[in-house]
Amino acid sequence: MIEVRDICIGDGLPKVCVSITGENRETIINEAEGIMLKKPDIVEWRFDCAKEYNYAIVEDILMNLRAVLRETPLLFTFRTVKEGGMRSISVESYKKLYETVASTGLVDFIDVEGISNGETAQAIIKDIKDNGVKVITSYHDFDKTPSKDELREILDTLESKGGDIVKLAVMPHDFEDVKNLIDVTKEYKDNTNKDIISMSMSELGMISRVCGKADGSCVTFASVIKASAPGQVPIKDMKKYLKNIEEFDDSKNMFLIGFMGTGKTTISNILGILTGMKVYDMDEEIVKKAGMSINDIFEKFGENHFRDIETEVVCELSKKEGAIISCGGGAVLRSENVEYMKNNGNIFLLRATPETVYERVKDSKDRPILNEDMSIDHISALMNKRRDIYEECANVKVDTDDLSAFEVAMEIIGKSKK
Ligand SMILES: Nc1ncnc2c1ncn2[C@@H]1O[C@H](COP(=O)(O)OP(=O)(O)O)[C@@H](O)[C@H]1O
Ligand SMILES: O=C(O)C1=C[C@@H](OP(=O)(O)O)[C@@H](O)[C@H](O)C1
Ligand SMILES: [Mg+2]
């Protein structure tokens, strides 16, 4: 936990930081004024985005920024091209720049690239800290997400340089990469209790920017005018998301129901990451119980047998406490299943049009009910038969057609207050 001015980083909600990316004195100050209207917790000046560059100008701009920011902490960063920034700089000039900035007494934090600066990083950090300024020791990879073991090693190296907070920003190629970053962040926070900031960039990684309550990441970067890195969420949305997560009721079971392809499995997994609640997928439990795939159960024993196992699983999973349960699309067809759900939690219905469902499931062969006739007409006919049952038992309903999976999950969280 770090106290700076009026804020306590690492305590309570993740703090929201917005970056100034202006190119000259005027745009930098104007941007700062615009950003302050949105009440960020921290402001970062990305000095590498500025075109003018001599020490006298830097100090003059810092003085002006300080006046605009009042008691809001200021983070000073020169992001090098090597780590996704706008300008290159020699290690010697970087060290000199940071020493000069630290000695002005006008900034609260400085971001030091812990790995690109090699052996010199330690000396740079020591000097900054001797001036009473806190250090974020960072590592950025705009191309990929290193493996979990590599991420752990990077964190050890960053920590060994002697800063106050470590920061990891990496690019995911698939959702597994996003989960790896979140897992390693949580593990680091749980094992060391030291402060960490982490983010998986791009739209794919958006979830990592709002899940600080679950994984321990203590600062998140949001945008006001222009994003300073891919995947940043506008500050207004970010504040709403963080508040909704804070007020979310994780004490009751959540049953996600809806037609095939409405996103029950996907959204349940995202909700699990955002809330830290345990997730169960009925279909997965059925496969475990039967020792064979859903297609094989249907083929060998017929739908009725599948529905019998499904009822056993609904009964078992209803006994969980504070769990997210992703139901199969037909799990509400038996009224006794609905009773189990109603008596043991809240029911969330995901809706989608037949066209959307078709687009989402057309290439999958895992749903025996659709396998014989994968068409919008068939989906539409089956959906019409089931619609009333879905609509009658749900406590909360979400139309998913125009929302990303992340947005669906955030909407559910917003509708599940304590
Ligand atoms: N809101 C969404 N937007 C876009 N694609 C989605 C959305 N929700 C789910 N998907 C995609 O649709 C497919 C089916 O999702 P899945 O979670 O398996 O649905 P269900 O469990 O309801 O059958 C998956 O490929 C998933 O990535
Ligand atoms: O709607 C249904 O009858 C079914 C939905 C499937 O689950 P998803 O809705 O998760 O695809 C699975 O349980 C089985 O193929 C039957
Ligand atoms: Mg599913």
> How do residues 376-411 score in pLDDT, each as one tens digit?
999 999 999 999 999 999 999 999 999 999 999 999
SS3 category, 397: strand
> How do residues 217-235 score in pLDDT, each as one tens digit?
999 999 997 787 888 999 9
Rg (CA), the chain: 25
Q: Which amino acid is at 158?
A: L
SS3 category, 281: strand
**Mind giving me the DSSP string for 22-81?**
-SSHHHHHHHHHHHHTT--SEEEEEGGG-S---HHHHHHHHHHHHHHHTTS-EEEE--BG
- Distances in Å between the Cα of 406 and the Cα atoms of 152, 397, 410, 411 are 27, 16, 6, 9
262 is in an annotated binding site: yes
pLDDT tens, position by position, for the chain (418 residues)?
A: 999 998 999 988 999 999 999 999 999 999 999 999 999 999 999 999 999 678 889 999 999 999 999 999 999 999 999 999 999 999 999 999 999 999 999 999 999 999 999 899 999 999 999 999 999 999 999 999 999 999 999 999 999 999 999 999 999 999 999 999 999 999 999 999 999 999 999 999 999 999 999 999 999 999 997 787 888 999 999 999 999 999 999 999 999 999 999 999 999 999 999 999 999 999 999 999 999 999 999 999 999 999 999 999 999 999 999 999 999 999 999 999 999 999 999 999 999 999 999 999 999 999 999 998 999 999 999 999 999 999 999 999 999 999 999 999 999 999 998 8
Q: Which listed ligand is nearest to 399 at the C-alpha? A: 1
Strand partners, 109: 75, 134
> How do residues 170-224 score in pLDDT, each as one tens digit?
999 999 999 999 999 999 999 999 999 999 999 999 999 999 999 999 999 999 9
Residue nearest to atom 15 of ligand 2 (CA): 367
Our answer on whether the CB atom of 264 is closer than 6 Å to any ligand 2 atom is yes
Q: All domains of the chain, ordered by start, with CATH?
A: 2-247 (3.20.20.70), 253-414 (3.40.50.300)
The whole-angstrom separation of Cα 74 and Cα 206 is 24
User: Which positions are catalytic?
Assistant: 140, 167
SS3 category, 197: strand
Say if CB 179 and CB 208 are below 8 A apart.
no
- Distances in Å between the Cα of 41 and the Cα atoms of 44, 189, 239, 343 are 10, 21, 11, 42
27 is in an annotated binding site: no
Pocket of ligand 1 (CB under 6 A): 258, 260-266, 360-361, 400, 403-405, 408
The whole-angstrom separation of Cα 313 and Cα 285 is 7
The whole-angstrom separation of Cα 412 and Cα 415 is 5
275 is in an annotated binding site: no
